[in-house]
Amino acid sequence: LRDALVDAVRAAVPEAILGGDPAPGGRLPANAHFTFPGCEGDSLLLLLDAQGIECSTGSACTAGVAQPSHVLLATGTAPDLARGTLRFSLGHTSTRADVDAVARAIGPAVERARTAGLS
CA distance 117 to 40: 7
Residue 103 has phi, psi (to 5 degrees) of -60, -40
| Residue 39 annotated in active site | no
Residues 6+ apart with CB under 8 A from 34: 9, 13, 16, 17, 18, 19, 85, 86, 88
Query: Given 61, 66, 74, 97, which residue is catalytic?
Result: 61
Catalytically active residues are 61
